[in-house]
Structure 1
Amino acid sequence: MPQISRFFGIIIAMYYDDHNPPHFHAKYGNEECLIAIRDLTLLEGRLPSRALGMVIEWAATHQTELAANWELAKNLQPLHSIEPLL
């Protein structure tokens, strides 16, 4: 699972050739969730509310880059790193 960003102990990643809808994985400690790229909704899993809020804030800023990485992953191409939340 290629890591595309990391901030405040949160790891953001995408799997190659993953299932639809387009999404990314966010992991914090032992918790993990999937977030839809299009509307930034929680698809499955959970994160602590503070961590989830930071992930949504970060994703809202980088939605275009996330969508581009989804296309790369779908085509088994190397993914681009995305700047962390500061």
Structure 2
Amino acid sequence: MPTISMFYGIIIRMYREIGGQHKIPHIHAEYQGEEVVVSLEGDALEGGIPKKKQSLVVAWVNIHYDDLLANWNLLEKGEKTFTIEPLK
């Protein structure tokens, strides 16, 4: 799974899920072995990580919405994603 960003111990991934259960644009955020799936609208779709870390993920998604949507569109075409600036 391609990593598109990392910050504060959180790994952010976005990958193509052909026939996957989440039909809307989303990212996967992993922290210390736990994972949450977050839509590009900032909603948790599945799983969970500690609340403070999840809040950081949602803030990052809101800041980088346009880049994330561009990455999602690349995936839809079967192309590679690009990395996105971490939260600072």
TM-score (normalizing by structure 1): 0.93
* Structure 1 gaps, min length 5: none
Aligned position for 1:65: 67
Runs of 4+ in 1 over 6 A off after TM superposition: none
Aligned position for 1:31: 34
Code of the aligned partner of 1:85: L
Q: Aligned-pair RMSD on alpha carbons? A: 1.0
SS of the residue 1:76 aligns to:
coil
Provide the rounded CA distance (Å) in 2 between the counterparts of 1:83 and 1:16: 21
Aligned position for 2:11: 11
- For the Cα contact (< 8 Å) 1:17–1:76, is it kept in 2? no
Task: Please say which of residues 12-21 and 51-60 is displaced more in the overlay.
Answer: 12-21
TM-score (normalizing by structure 2): 0.91
How many residue pairs are counted as aligned between the two chains?
Answer: 85
* Structure 2 gaps, min length 5: none
